[in-house]
Amino acid sequence: MSEVESPVAVIIGTGLIGASIGCALTAAGYRVHLRDNQVSHARVAAGLGAGTLDSPAAEQVALVAVAVPPDVIADVVADSLERYPRATVTDAGSVKAGVLDDLWRRNVDLARYVGSHPMAGSQHSGPVTARADLFVDRSWVVTPHRRSALDSVEVVRSAVVACRARAVIMDVDDHDAAVARVSHLPHLLSVLMAGHLVTVPEGDLLLAGQGLRDVTRVAGSDPGLWQQIVGANSAAVLNELRGIADRQACVAAHLDAKPQRQALARDLFQHRDGVELDLDRAGQRAIGGLDGRLNQPGRTGSGGR
What pLDDT score was predicted for residue 251? 78
Cβ(157)–Cβ(167) below 8 Å: yes
What pLDDT score was predicted for residue 97? 95
What pLDDT score was predicted for residue 273? 53
Q: Report the predicted TM-score, pTM, of the whole model to 2 decimal places.
A: 0.80
What pLDDT score was predicted for residue 224? 87
Q: What is the pLDDT of residues 65-81, one digit of tens each?
A: 999 999 999 999 999 99
Q: With bands split at pLDDT 50, 70 and 90, how would you rate the model's confidence at 294?
A: very low
What pLDDT score was predicted for residue 263? 66
Listed by start position, the domains of the chain span 8-175+290-295, 177-283
Expressed in angstroms, the distance from the first to the final Cα of the chain is 37
What order of strands is seen across the sheet that includes strand 31-35?
Answer: 31-35, 8-12, 61-66, 88-91
pLDDT of residue 249 exceeding 90: no
Q: What is the pLDDT of residues 143-177, one digit of tens each?
A: 999 999 999 999 999 999 999 999 999 999 999 99
Secondary-structure class of domain 8-175+290-295 per CATH? alpha beta
Q: Which residues pair with 61 in a beta bridge?
A: 8
What pLDDT score was predicted for residue 255? 76
User: 177-283 belongs to which homologous superfamily?
Assistant: 6-phosphogluconate dehydrogenase C-terminal like domain (1.10.3660.10)
Query: Other C-beta atoms within 10 Å of 11: how many?
Result: 30
Q: How far is CA 224 from the centre of its chain?
A: 16
Q: For strands 88-91 and 166-169, give the pairing.
A: unpaired
Q: Which residues pair with 33 in a beta bridge?
A: 10, 52
